[in-house]
Structure 1
Amino acid sequence: MRAVVYESPRRVTVRDVEDAVVEEETDALVRITSSALCGTDLHMYDGRTGAEEGMVLGHAPLGVVEETGSAVTSVRPGDRVVLPTHLFCGTCPHCAQGLTAARSRIRPDGFGAAYGYAGMGPYRDAQAELLRVPFADANCVPLPGVPGDRFEDAFVLLADAFQLP
């Protein structure tokens, strides 16, 4: 698949990378239709975050679910979704208390997990054709509308703000 990849400070390229796939029964695979850019992307672009060469950039994505793991119940293939930038499991004691920033299951080696942020876990970002969404039941927010309309574009600006308790 094609993706926007960090090469070095102030240098990004579009290149082929390994396809995203469903790795766990709680994952979804989403075909990205829109993705926003924010200041964090610019910090990485400028070389101020410790981003490593080869890192897929971009976040605040929207897309269409292509595949789900066997344990996913809230979305199915064909559903249009918005994806919060920061990842959480939705089931650990921290999430149960509404403390989704603690994220003890999604990143046991530290706090904070996000798509394509330097130092925030091994998750690729959304400037790519496909995105693996871990803990899809917590991290896929279904969108209203009918397939094929462009109503979802209104939601791209909200993707970075969506954090579910």
Structure 2
Amino acid sequence: MTLIEGFVRDEIFVDFGSDILYGSDQQFVNYPSRFPTVGFELIATCGLCQIADRIRKDAGFKPMHPMDEFTDDTCDNEGWYDFYIGLNGFAENHMDSCIEFYVVNADSPDNEEKYTIDLTAEEQAAIYARLDEQCKRYLGKGCEELLAEADKLLKEESS
């Protein structure tokens, strides 16, 4: 198991208590092309929160959790993060290229702002495998089946 695979196994969990969002998006290359999407909310694990805190700290904001020079008394510990990732029928690997997160209930000027955690192709593949495993276990269907359902809904909307 690689470091990436270990991190993904320990830190990436779909929040099956939230709705899975079936939808579509549009890409403009030479002409508009619509494609299906499936969005998931992720559980805000310690690892994801540490990455989000580092991104915000590097942007000049207080982290939500103690790190570096920030303690419980000096960090913005009233807020939290909401994490999202999606599948799409446009990309060859069917994965979004980033995990999005939103700052929620923070006592800082970036409250309600969206940030991204960019993913390499290797990270995307590991996360896709993890999402597929979890969806099969908890929903009884894999990522390809979820995308097929989103594609069916997209076609029904278009007709």
Q: TM-score range by the shorter chain?
A: under 0.3
TM-score (norm 1): 0.26
Greater Cα radius of gyration, structure 1 or 2:
2
TM-score (norm 2): 0.27
Q: Which has the higher helix share?
A: 2
The structure whose RCO (Cα within 8 Å, separation 6+) is larger is 1
